[in-house]
Structure 1
Amino acid sequence: MKTLIALIPLLPFIGFLINGLGRNHLPKGLSGLIGSGTVLGSFIISCMLFAQGEFSAVPVKYFDFINVGSLKIPFAFQVDQLSTLFLLIITGVGFLIHVYSTSYMHEEKREHFARYFAYLNLFVFSMLLLVMGANYIIMFIGWEGVGLCSYLLIGYWFRNVDYTKAAKKAFVMNRIGDLGFLLAIFWMIQRFGSVNYYDLFNPSTGIIASLKTVNSFEIVGITMLLFLGATGKSAQIPLYTWLPDAMAGPTPVSALIHAATMVTAGIYMIARSNLLYSLAPTTLSVVAIIGAATALLAATIALRQNDIKKVLAYSTVSQLGYMFLALGTGAYVAAIFHVMTHAFFKALLFLGSGSVIHAMHHEQDIRRMGGLRGKLKITYITFLIGCLAIAGIPPFSGFFSKDAILLNAFQHDKFLYVVGLITAALTAFYMFRLLFLTFGGSFRGTEEQRKHLHESPAAMTIPLVVLAILSIVGGFVGIPEVFLHGGERLTAFLGPVIRTEHAAIDHSTEYMLMGLTTLIAIGAIVFAWVRYRNYREERSGGFGKVLENKWYVDELYDSVIVKPVGALGRFAHTFIEKSGIDALVNGVGRAVNYSGRQLRWIQSGQVGSYVLLMVVSMLLFFVLQFFLRK
């Protein structure tokens, strides 16, 4: 068992080494086989562990990572209910994305094709390390690993300067959040003497279980710093602007980042720390407010985006806001549930958009598409399923997970519930706007594009079909009590790791809330159909222009942060470094050089002169000694 657990992250890492080191020699088919096969192996082992059901809060230790005085941090994995669920999501969805990539990236040169799969494997390895680690240090190693891989994959086409800028933006913004996470780790070591989950969160002997103080300065400080880390990785206000720019990378990379790996890290970290957050209601309130605000803000921006991937990117930011809204209201299980369903339908939507881009010869503007339903039938049907799931139409998966979030928000804070409800309506509207503009109406592309329209190869459509099926049935994993006495099996499954405490709600009220959400979503879809079934240009002025320009947040950051920091850097370079430090150092060098040039004239090469100087020096010495004694 110990070896099997280690193989889960080790297999993708081996794939990374083989593809990375052999990128100039491996055939493209073999590179794709190695990259996909290693992740499939991890998925099979994860399924075996899940099927055996032998979960334990006791970590599996391999060696001492840090052992200094009383501080002992092992390199250990913890395979419990929470980490196992994430293992299935990461390796399962990740494998489908790898398979899809073998066809989508076929035009790449051999060495770049292998490099791409090496990066993908390293990405999966880092995410597995993040969720399997038995302490915050191992989590942080994986945390930094996914940050590195996002930089490498977003800037995969590194000859494009704009793409490398997007990669740097993602890297820098994540470093801001990562600093908060790192400070929280130091604070936990100082306060608790350990960062091991078993020491902190064991229900009977854990340090957190013994604490009685609520909202103490230290608990709030630690949880706020952890949340700062989560806002970076999971793209929440104010550190969300990197994620839409991450569309610079290949489309399968977008699917991997948005659905199965990086952006879910923040939700995982807070869910893992649920006992700690339950002692900090102040922090939970901040998490809920930031989550709701992010969900609404990103949804409004998505209304007027015309890049097919940008719409989905802002949709991800919005759905992540939903998850943080759930976390902030104490509905940790609902947040994890939405992570799972979102992984299915968002991977489906991104890969579906990749199929469209593939058919349109890299065109991404939905205003130049239309009429694709007849030529891309599989893509259209699966994309439609993804739209129904994210819109929350029953019985698709997004309905159940989104309902769980809104239900808890309704019990916790009516204002946050209304924000969530408005966001649900906007989500249904902008997703079906995307669907109708892309697949409906008449074709608006070039005649050359029309001639070459075709359905994607099987390596791309099969993952779409599998994800579409999961988007239909995935919600039944967490079916609530009111449906066929489901008993909320997901809550019971995660019970040993996540303690949930929320007041029961009357079934009639729950049915009413479900009906209201569904009616609002259907109304938004109908409105989108009326507005976009026949294409016409949207006016770019007024409030629409504000939304097209994403509320000018990037421009605000550029004016308030980027330009002042750049000006400070130029000032420091010109006046402090060049006129100050460099001038001082160079001045000393010039003085020594000048002194040497003057003193060398003394060196005449004549022995008599040297003897004379020696005699004169001795006479001066004796004269000075005589006067000093007097």
Structure 2
Amino acid sequence: MYDLIVFLPLLGALIAGLFGRQIGHRNSEYVTTTLLSISCALAWIGFFRVGLGHGEEHKFILVPVANWFSVGELQVDWSLRIDTLTSVMLIVVTTVSTIVHSYSFGYMHDDPHRSRFFSYLSLFTFAMLMLVTSDNLVQMFFGWEGVGLASYLLIGFWYQRPTANAAAIKAFVVNRVGDFGFSLGIFLVFALTHSVSFEAVFAAMPAVVGHTYHAFGLDADAVTLACLLLFMGAMGKSAQFLLHTWLPDAMEGPTPVSALIHAATMVTAGVFMVARLSPIFELSPAAETFVIVIGGTTCFFAATIGLVQNDIKRVIAYSTCSQLGYMFVALGCGGYAVGIFHLFTHAFFKALLFLGAGSVIHAVGGEQDMRKMGGLRTKIPYTYWFMVIGSLALVGFPFTAGYYSKDAIIEVAYASSRGGAAYGWLTTTIAAGLTSFYSFRLLFMTFYGESRAVAAHEETNHNTHHEPSASHGAGSQHPGHEEETVSADVHTAGSAAARGHHGDDHAAGNLNDGAAASAHDAHGHDAHGHGAHGHGGEPHESPPIMLGPLVPLAFGAIFAGLLFHHLFIGSGMESFWGESLFYGAANHVIEDRENDPWFVGQLPLLMLIAGFVVAYYLYIARPGTAERWAEANRPLYRFLLNKWYFDELYDLVFVRPAFWLGRLFWHGGDEAIINRFGPDGVASSVLVTTDRVVKLQSGYVYQYAFVMMMGIAVIITYFLVWGAR
């Protein structure tokens, strides 16, 4: 059964990818979705069998597949490790992927490359399943890199768009930075334990505690160094602070890709990896402190950026960064079950928000700028309620999924005595208020008030010659600033290009006098496959094929926390998790959270209310106040709008020096030295000389006889004159 869960998506990817043209787009969709649905059903069966089963034979299952390779001491077997942690990840990956496949039936229905799209989706799912079922570090790295490759293909799916290509390359390169650290961590673990198998590594690591390892000119604690290197991979894959810059640009991919990769699966790979390696991280308090600090910083700074973003998908993207920070704070504090619980609930409401945003974008003809929306509550009521449900779960509204998992993280951070836990508690608490603000801001700007579509288009045309220089977009060598106008929340000055990125699912997303513009790619097709829709430009509800998949996500966003919290972090936790998560003898942080002061449990709700009140005041009660606040605090506003200037900083520190070095080797090395003395120097001289020598080969006998006589004369003269000496 577990073999089928993992390999059915691969079979679907191969069928759609290799035979898509022969069987047609529709059959490719049916094949990949059907096989994945079977995998999903089996994953749920496995979840109840493993998670709710009793006895060692149910809690841990090892499914041998094949011997991969053996080199000296290194022996790597291909096996599927099935325990409670794996079963949780299996249902998250297969459920969200199945829903995204179904949603894409409608979203991509006119795209001329649907077979390739569905093949990529299934390939990504297979790689993710290989990652979460791995029984050793090398197998995990295989799935890790497979996920990176598939994400590159999906983000750059519309390869005719330079911004999509640049975003895909950026995601690939930034992840390679983290993966370099991850690979070094694997090497170090093998050097310390002489194995890469989880069971052998976990058994050998306690003996390494207290030992040092000489690296980078320093004698570092061996376990801490290994944990930090492994966590570097998690920072890249899960878009944590300093390696986060790829995630917002990845919104250039189709919206279903955003929901699959950047909400529920790929970005959670780092969280899963730290939880899987909990027996190692438990041995290094310093590494766990680092995890807390990075997670808390990511949680806070991503939330601040989300406050002022105007692209509906980018708001949700920065929300993803922030929520991943929550998960790492929980892991660093030792609350591994709490972190995985939030991963589980987050998958439902964040996928719901992304797919709901796709429905909004579909409704308004491809527009993504929330300043050009408004009044959609009555035009697309089903989408509105789905977005409300997702947003309430995200902010932790009482008894929704986020209420049980996110609040538990804040409580664990307060209860933990580990270094940095106080910082983690402070940042997560503040981020709760920021999350509430930007979530309700998204709802108010998109669905309330009057429609700003026509006014937005007219003002854009009016200000065409007055806007500041547009940024260069995702594909530029120089990361330009975001749109610098401070009227970012209510006015609509500037086009999508001036925002530094194009509309996600259409090349141009402006609404032209109420008529939805039909954006086309290089093939003459609508970028996300919908065409002009034929609705006369009036916002319209998405078809049932797109709304139907949102129903189970909405159900999970409401009830997942209520139904599963007693298993994940409640009274049934010990029986549920078994040995899949490791807790040291002194780690009782999940139980200790029950002793937190009363105000710790009330603070998240107070922050939720505060964020709602401020958003309501700015966008409903006193429209225009946000613009005045932005004008009064222009430096801070621009700092947040330009994402703390990380892109500009990295461009200055890394990108420009790399280009300078490349030009130096190109012009100074390749052209000035190699070409000058090679093809243009010695090689050219040889060619010239041989051209002249070849002319001596005339074919006339008398010329050859003359040359022979001259040679004989020279030889005789030499012996007559110099021979006697």
User: Per the shorter chain, which TM-score range?
Assistant: over 0.9
Contact 1:397–1:471 under 8 Å retained in 2: yes
Moved more, 616-625 or 374-383: 616-625
Q: 1:278 to 1:214 in 2, by over 3 A?
A: farther
Give the aligned partner of residue 480 of structure 2: none
Contact 1:155–1:164 under 8 Å retained in 2: yes
**CA shift digits 1:317-375 (9 cap, x unpaired):** 11111111112212111111111111010001001111111111111111111111112
Give the aligned partner of residue 476 of structure 1: 562
**CA shift digits 1:102-126 (9 cap, x unpaired):** 11111212xx111111111111111
Letter in 2 for 1:454: H
Distance 1:286 1:621 in 2: 87
Give the aligned partner of residue 577 of structure 2: 494
Name the SS for the 1:24 alignment partner: helix
**Aligned with 1:36 (options 20, 30, 33):** 33
Distance 2:440 2:576 in 1: 34
**CA shift digits 1:125-177 (9 cap, x unpaired):** 11111111111111111111111111111111111111111111111111111
1:434 pairs with 2:442 = yes
**Aligned with 1:562 (options 655, 661, 668):** 655
Gaps of 5+ in 1: none
Give the aligned partner of residue 83 of structure 1: 86
Letter in 2 for 1:589: A
Contact 2:429–2:603 under 8 Å retained in 1: no
Name the SS for the 1:505 alignment partner: helix
1:550 pairs with 2:648 = no
Query: What pairs up with 1:24-423 in 2 under 5 angstroms?
Result: 24-53=21-50, 55=58, 57=60, 59-109=62-112, 112-201=113-202, 206-213=203-210, 217-412=221-416, 413-423=421-431
Give the aligned partner of residue 583 of structure 1: 676
Contact 2:175–2:237 under 8 Å retained in 1: yes
Contact 1:348–1:383 under 8 Å retained in 2: yes
Q: Per chain length, whose mean CA-contact separation is higher, i.e. which structure has more relative contact order (CA < 8 Å, sep 6+)?
A: 2
Distance 2:116 2:395 in 1: 36
Moved more, 538-547 or 233-242: 538-547
> Structure 1 or 2: larger helix share?
1
RMSD of the TM alignment (CA)? 2.5
1:505 pairs with 2:598 = no
**CA shift digits 1:303-329 (9 cap, x unpaired):** 000100000000001111111111221
Give the aligned partner of residue 518 of structure 1: 605
What is the TM-score of this pair, normalised by structure 2?
A: 0.80
Query: What is the Cα deviation at residue 231 of structure 1?
Result: 0.9
Query: What is the Cα deviation at residue 525 of structure 1?
Result: 1.2
Gaps of 5+ in 2: 51-56, 213-219, 455-513, 517-535
Letter in 2 for 1:222: A
Give the aligned partner of residue 515 of structure 2: 448
Contact 1:10–1:125 under 8 Å retained in 2: yes
Q: 1:621 to 1:431 in 2, by over 3 A?
A: farther
Distance 2:42 2:718 in 1: 89
Q: 1:492 to 1:435 in 2, by over 3 A?
A: farther
Distance 2:301 2:141 in 1: 29
Q: 1:453 to 1:217 in 2, by over 3 A?
A: same
Name the SS for the 1:184 alignment partner: helix
Query: What is the Cα deviation at residue 488 of structure 1?
Result: 4.1
**CA shift digits 1:215-244 (9 cap, x unpaired):** 862222221111111111100111101100
Distance 1:417 1:221 in 2: 25
What is the TM-score of this pair, normalised by structure 1?
A: 0.92
Distance 2:328 2:698 in 1: 83
The percent of aligned pairs where both chains have the same amino acid is 42
**CA shift digits 1:44-87 (9 cap, x unpaired):** 12122223325454632222111122221011111111111100
Query: What pairs up with 1:607-618 in 2 under 5 angstroms?
Result: 608-609=705-706, 612=709
Q: 1:142 to 1:602 in 2, by over 3 A?
A: same
Query: What is the Cα deviation at residue 611 of structure 1?
Result: 5.2
Give the aligned partner of residue 527 of structure 1: 614
Query: What is the Cα deviation at residue 28 of structure 1?
Result: 3.4
Query: What is the Cα deviation at residue 451 of structure 1?
Result: 5.3
Query: What is the Cα deviation at residue 454 of structure 1?
Result: 2.2
Contact 1:393–1:522 under 8 Å retained in 2: no
May I ask how many residue pairs the two structures share in their alignment? Answer: 616
Contact 1:26–1:114 under 8 Å retained in 2: no
Distance 1:263 1:220 in 2: 24
Name the SS for the 1:311 alignment partner: helix
Moved more, 9-18 or 306-315: 9-18
Name the SS for the 1:371 alignment partner: coil
Q: 1:477 to 1:333 in 2, by over 3 A?
A: farther
